[in-house]
Chain A
Amino acid sequence: MKKLLLTTAALIAAPLAALAADKPAELKVGVTTFLTGPASVFGVPARDAAEILVEKINADGGIAGVPLKLSFIDEGAGAEALTSEFRRQVESEGAHAMMGAISSGNCQTLAPLAEDLKVLNLMWDCGTQQIFEKNDYKYVFRTQANATPEMLATVLYLLKVKPDFKTIAVVNQDYAWGRDSWQIFSTALKALKPDAEVVGEFFPKFGAADFSTEISRLQAMQPDVILSTSWGGDLDTFIQQAAQRGLMNSSTFVIPLAESSLERLGSTLPAGHIVGARGDHYFLHPERRDDADFKEFMAAFEEKTGAHAIYPVFHMSQALAALEAAYDKAVAAKGGEWPSEDEVIAAFEGLTFQGLGREVTIREDNQGVEAQLLGTSVQTGDYPFATLENIMIFDGAALTTPVGQESVEWVSKLTPDYAASVKVDSYDR
């Protein structure tokens, strides 16, 4: 009799249970990353990190009991191959979520596509601030900061450590990031330090192998500060050539992406230059380096790749942490049932999660609020390459363009006393 009652109850409940999404055998996630091309300096370490992190997540029982399975798409193959593979993974392979992309251009292509395909897409590394300022997306989230807080924090750090500089020159790559980052940086500088003079603007082509002429001209100009938001081989080449010819002794370099080049530059990068990391990303993160999860990951990463973790590794950890946190939150909200996609997306609203850096929060416009770490290069001899001293971690909330505003316009209206309103923590090392 009891059995009959139970069966009846189960039968009555069956249609209700069907409303809950079926728990999949595995959670399929497609990840776009650069495996070829110049940006593979970011994409390959990030993929390696993803593999380590997923192994750990699955060893701990997966996401809400479902193992995670990643498949990687090469962004280096071009936009057309990327979009068709993205589409294929969603439509034919039934990917539950996507993570794209590194390139800002690819993010701008994939965001509307994800919206069309109605698939959750985490923009896990790209920096363009325009995505959520120009569009309103339901399925697309960014699990890190964007170019605006990155550049603003760089200006603030520069003003804190070298408040009296008079002249600045810029050497950026001639493509969207080089131009956009300079626009934000120069606008912020004009607002926060109106007396700084821009004496030279150089945009050598992306992938340039030779900066000799620019360096000669910079030596003749002798600016107090030289900014370069370049990265990868371009930045390495520029720093090497500048160091070889003594330019780094006469000007202070501000290099917001140099955290990702520290190890490759070895002893070439002299002390006293301002290094950024596109967020609070540093393998010796002063607040995180003694934490067990951080240490465990860093050891595993070094063992797997033979190199130290750089910022895309942190970005990858944040995106995976966000995915895990959102599913956990949605499952909890549903009393343990597997959530539908809409319920997972609802969980992202105000979601807080922690990768390898500080906690990140997703805002109502789907933009992540992330802290920014900068430091000054120093050769201590502890590592065969430059590390950071005089580290400052800026709180992300006051750095991120308010919801509904456009970055350049917002930045241009800042006043010199804005600097005091940004919360900052300082560390010697």
Chain B
Amino acid sequence: MNLTIFLLALFDGIAYAALVFSVAVGLTLIFGVMRILNVAHGSLYAVGAYLTVSLTGYILALGFAPVLAFPMMIVSAVLVGVLIGGPIEWLLLRRIYNKPEVLQLLVTFAVFMILEDVQRLVWGTQPYFQASALQAMGMIRVFGVNYTVYQLIILPLVALVLLVGLRFFLRHTILGKLILATTEDREAAQSIGIDADKVFLLTFIVGAALAGLGGALASPTTSILPGMGADMIVLSFAVVATAGLGQIEGAAFTALLIGLGRSFAVYVWPETAVLVPYLIMLIVLLVRPEGLFGSPTARKI
């Protein structure tokens, strides 16, 4: 393997990791704060992608510039968070926080199944493709290989902004501190006047919006079709579990690890590319069952 190939694999790995991280971060945020493993995260990802495609198609049909696809991604993410995430927490999860974990898994899994069928109902079974945002950014040529600016620069940048932004939000804003306090000890937080219900609702909306944003960001690069949510939730779980549940920085590191592992596999031994993320997870969990960055007490499932 020469240096060129090494760098190409590195670029591919980073681009892929950025996308995986932007989905996994919402999952790990919800778990970290609410101690709920949200299987429906995969559906929220898919709905975010579908919404972006529909909205972008709509504004393009009205004759607006393709670059407006970017604000449509944010609009879709917010819509997913508020219109789907909000009601899920408010109507369902709120009732089962004190119930056994397995019930929470079953409920979010049921929501996942329902949302999968809703997608079929609304968008049908034919694949969609809407790459205006990606095409608007053009390409760059590195070592004789064309990369899209969107995948090589924009996605990693967005992932970095998400990571730094979330850190800042949680550690340096009042709202973030309220969330952290509730995470630490819900009863104590309530006793000093924090509205824990509101904090949970808000966290879930933000987490769901992040899932939607992941889908929105992925939408210009891939076909939007039934089943995409299931695929992503499995990979996100691998990232989150390897990192340690609830670890935001850990999720970023693990996404990078898995992204790079996968892309180097394609260059060195393509047959194993599918296996690599799970192999990494297996090795990490054998050595550290709580995940790379997790603490043993934080584990719930």
Interface residues in chain A, defined as those with a beta carbon under 8 Å from any beta carbon in chain B: 36-38, 40-41, 44, 174, 200-205, 207, 209-210, 212-214, 216-217, 219-220, 232-234, 236-237, 240-241, 244-247, 264-265, 268
Please judge, given known A-B contacts A210-B16, A213-B266, A217-B266, whether A244 and B231 are in contact too, CB under 8 Å.
Answer: no
Instruction: Please state if B4 and A220 are interface contacts (CB–CB under 8 Å).
Output: yes
Instruction: Please state if A264 and B129 are interface contacts (CB–CB under 8 Å).
Output: yes
B71 at the binding interface (Cβ < 8 Å): no
Please judge, given known A-B contacts A209-B223, A210-B221, A213-B16, whether A245 and B11 are in contact too, CB under 8 Å.
Answer: no
Inter-chain pairs besides A240-B223, A264-B127, 11 sampled, C-beta below 8 Å: A37-B226, A40-B226, A44-B125, A209-B221, A209-B231, A213-B262, A216-B8, A220-B145, A236-B127, A244-B134, A246-B139
Binds A, one of B93-101, B175-183, B192-200, B268-276: B268-276
Please judge, given known A-B contacts A214-B266, A233-B223, whether A209 and B228 are in contact too, CB under 8 Å.
Answer: yes
Instruction: Please state if B134 and A212 are interface contacts (CB–CB under 8 Å).
Output: no
B191 at the binding interface (Cβ < 8 Å): no
Q: Considering the chains assembled together, what is the distance between the CA atoms of A237 and B223 in angstroms?
A: 5
Q: Considering the chains assembled together, what is the distance between the CA atoms of A44 and B127 in angstroms?
A: 13
Contacts A/B (CB < 8 Å), 16 sampled: A38-B225, A41-B127, A202-B266, A212-B15, A213-B12, A214-B270, A219-B145, A219-B146, A220-B4, A240-B129, A240-B131, A240-B222, A244-B148, A245-B139, A247-B146, A264-B127
Instruction: Please state if A245 and B148 are interface contacts (CB–CB under 8 Å).
Output: yes
B242 at the binding interface (Cβ < 8 Å): no
Q: Considering the chains assembled together, what is the distance between the CA atoms of A377 and B272 in angstroms?
A: 33
Please judge, given known A-B contacts A209-B222, A246-B146, whether A203 and B271 are in contact too, CB under 8 Å.
Answer: yes
Q: A265: which B residues are within 8 A, CB to CB?
A: 129
Q: Considering the chains assembled together, what is the distance between the CA atoms of A219 and B144 in angstroms?
A: 8
Instruction: Please state if B223 and A201 are interface contacts (CB–CB under 8 Å).
Output: no
B300 at the binding interface (Cβ < 8 Å): no
Q: Considering the chains assembled together, what is the distance between the CA atoms of A232 and B274 in angstroms?
A: 20
- How many residues of B are counted as interface, with CB atoms below 8 angstroms from the partner's CB atoms? 44
Q: Considering the chains assembled together, what is the distance between the CA atoms of A244 and B15 in angstroms?
A: 15
B147 at the binding interface (Cβ < 8 Å): yes
Q: Considering the chains assembled together, what is the distance between the CA atoms of A203 and B129 in angstroms?
A: 22
| Binary contact track B143-161/A, C-beta < 8 Å → 1, others 0 | 1111110010000000000
Report the minimum CB–CB distance from A270 to chain B (whole Å): 14
Q: 9 shortest A-B CB distances, which residue pairs?
A: A40-B125, A233-B127, A233-B225, A213-B12, A233-B223, A213-B266, A237-B223, A209-B222, A219-B145
| Binary contact track B93-132/A, C-beta < 8 Å → 1, others 0 | 0000000000000000000000000001000011101010
Q: A236: which B residues are within 8 A, CB to CB?
A: 127, 129, 223
Q: Considering the chains assembled together, what is the distance between the CA atoms of A209 and B42 in angstroms?
A: 14
Which B238-274 residues have a C-beta within 8 angstroms of A? Answer: 262-263, 266-267, 270-271, 273-274
User: Which of A212, A216, A268 makes the CB contact (< 8 A) with B129?
Assistant: A268
Question: In the complex, which residue of chain A has the Cβ closest to the Cβ of B124?
Answer: A44
Q: Considering the chains assembled together, what is the distance between the CA atoms of A183 and B278 in angstroms?
A: 28
Q: A268: which B residues are within 8 A, CB to CB?
A: 129
Question: In the complex, which residue of chain B has the Cβ closest to the Cβ of A212?
Answer: B12
Instruction: Please state if B227 and A244 are interface contacts (CB–CB under 8 Å).
Output: no
Please judge, given known A-B contacts A36-B125, A38-B225, A41-B126, whether A244 and B270 are in contact too, CB under 8 Å.
Answer: no
Instruction: Please state if A217 and B8 are interface contacts (CB–CB under 8 Å).
Output: yes
Instruction: Please state if B262 and A245 are interface contacts (CB–CB under 8 Å).
Output: no
Instruction: Please state if A245 and B147 are interface contacts (CB–CB under 8 Å).
Output: yes
Q: Considering the chains assembled together, what is the distance between the CA atoms of A241 and B147 in angstroms?
A: 10
Q: A246: which B residues are within 8 A, CB to CB?
A: 139, 146
Q: A210: which B residues are within 8 A, CB to CB?
A: 16, 19, 221-222
Q: Considering the chains assembled together, what is the distance between the CA atoms of A217 and B263 in angstroms?
A: 10
Question: In the complex, which residue of chain A has the Cβ closest to the Cβ of B232?
Answer: A209
B53 at the binding interface (Cβ < 8 Å): no
Q: A205: which B residues are within 8 A, CB to CB?
A: 274
B135 at the binding interface (Cβ < 8 Å): yes
Q: A202: which B residues are within 8 A, CB to CB?
A: 266, 270
User: Which of B131, B134, B227 makes the CB contact (< 8 A) with A37?
Assistant: B227
Q: Considering the chains assembled together, what is the distance between the CA atoms of A268 and B134 in angstroms?
A: 13
B292 at the binding interface (Cβ < 8 Å): no
Q: Considering the chains assembled together, what is the distance between the CA atoms of A167 and B151 in angstroms?
A: 29
Instruction: Please state if A213 and B267 are interface contacts (CB–CB under 8 Å).
Output: yes
Most buried by B among A37, A205, A216, A237: A216
B40 at the binding interface (Cβ < 8 Å): no
Which B181-223 residues have a C-beta within 8 angstroms of A? Answer: 218, 221-223
User: Which of A201, A220, A244 makes the CB contact (< 8 A) with B8?
Assistant: A220
Instruction: Please state if A232 and B145 are interface contacts (CB–CB under 8 Å).
Output: no
Q: B222: which A residues are within 8 A, CB to CB?
A: 209-210, 237, 240-241
Instruction: Please state if B12 and A174 are interface contacts (CB–CB under 8 Å).
Output: no
Most buried by A among B139, B144, B225: B225
